[in-house]
Amino acid sequence: DAGITQSPRYKITETGRQVTLMCHQTWSHSYMFWYRQDLGHGLRLIYYSAAADITDKGEVPDGYVVSRSKTENFPLTLESATRSQTSVYFCASTRTVYNEQFFGPGTRLTVL
Amino acid sequence: GQQLNQSPQSMFIQEGEDVSMNCTSSSIFNTWLWYKQEPGEGPVLLIALYKAGELTSNGRLTAQFGITRKDSFLNISASIPSDVGIYFCAGSSGNTGKLIFGQGTTLQVKP
């Protein structure tokens, strides 16, 4: 199906491990975003990308790395997971900066 | 940084009642968006507002972009049980596409 997908949907890992969350969209949207959602904080932007090979930090980028070698994919990597990174992660995309963002179903990550 | 204050934080209402929630910002936005999130899913766009003073409806939902460009409200008329969820406002002020989200309003509807 066309749209925006995330994998895995659920992940449990241990402190210090590297974890990569995948995001794939089929709309050829230029802009893609990663958010984390925590109780009491709503949705906070981690990183975003305006196009392939162009990325920039959001509000809470520390501990995360992104890449965008292809327009349709925007993986988020936690290089050394910490308990504070336990959260629900959402990927989103939009065609232009003036359009609404469309969200994926989310990945629930637990760091033990 | 920019902040959005969304209120109320939660609402518990009777089916058939009207609902109103709002967001205010400390700075000017040029786009306001309203999303709904259901358990285990990502936010889904309800209404997008692009012009100060704009009033837009989507079925039983009505949203307005405040004249000052620092606020927006969402009304739901004649609520039904499937309106249950978390409603988020989001604003954008620049040309990066970045959104700032409110804390969310949790709506519960009693049949």
The model's pLDDT over A57-82, given as tens digits with 9 standing for 90+, comes to 999 999 999 999 999 999 999 999 99
Please check whether residue A53 is in contact with residue A61, taking contact to mean a CB–CB distance below 8 angstroms. no
Is B51:B67 a contact under the CB 8 Å cutoff?
Answer: no
pLDDT band at A95 (very low <50, low <70, confident <90, very high): confident
- Per-residue pLDDT, A98: 73
pLDDT digits (tens, 9 = 90+) for B48-106: 999 999 999 999 999 999 999 999 999 999 999 999 999 999 998 877 788 999 999 99
Tell me how far CA of residue B95 lies from CA of A13, A38, A100, B31, B85, in angstroms: 37, 26, 13, 10, 30
Query: Out of B31, B45, B101, whose CB is closest to A42?
Result: B101
Residue A25, CA atoms < 13 Å, CB-side half-sphere: 27
Q: DSSP letters along B93-108, please?
A: -SSS---EE---EEEE
What pLDDT is recorded for position B93?
83
| HSE toward the beta carbon, residue B97, CA cutoff 13 A | 25
Structure tokens at B59: 């079925």
Structure tokens at B76: 């739901």
Could you read off the pLDDT of B8-30 as tens digits, one per residue?
Answer: 999 999 999 999 999 999 989 99
A89 touching B, CB under 8 A?
no
Cα gap A89→A31, rounded to integer Å: 17
Q: Is A107 on the interface with B (CB under 8 A)?
A: no
* CB A35, CB A45: distance < 8 Å: yes
Cis peptide bond N-terminal to A8, omega within 30: yes
Question: Could you tell me which residues come within 8 angstroms of residue B13 by beta carbon, excluding any fewer than 6 positions away?
Answer: B19, B79, B107, B108, B109, B110
A42: distance to nearest CA of chain B, Å? 5
| Whether the predicted pLDDT of B1 surpasses 60 | no
Q: Are B27 and B93 in contact (CB under 8 A)?
A: yes
- By CA distance, what is A50's nearest residue in B? B96
What is the rounded distance in angstroms from the CA atom of residue A65 to the CA atom of residue A76? 6
Q: Is the model more confident about A1 or about B40?
A: B40
Q: With an 8 Å Cβ cutoff, are A106 and B33 in contact?
A: no
Is B90 in contact with B99 (CB distance < 8 Å)? yes
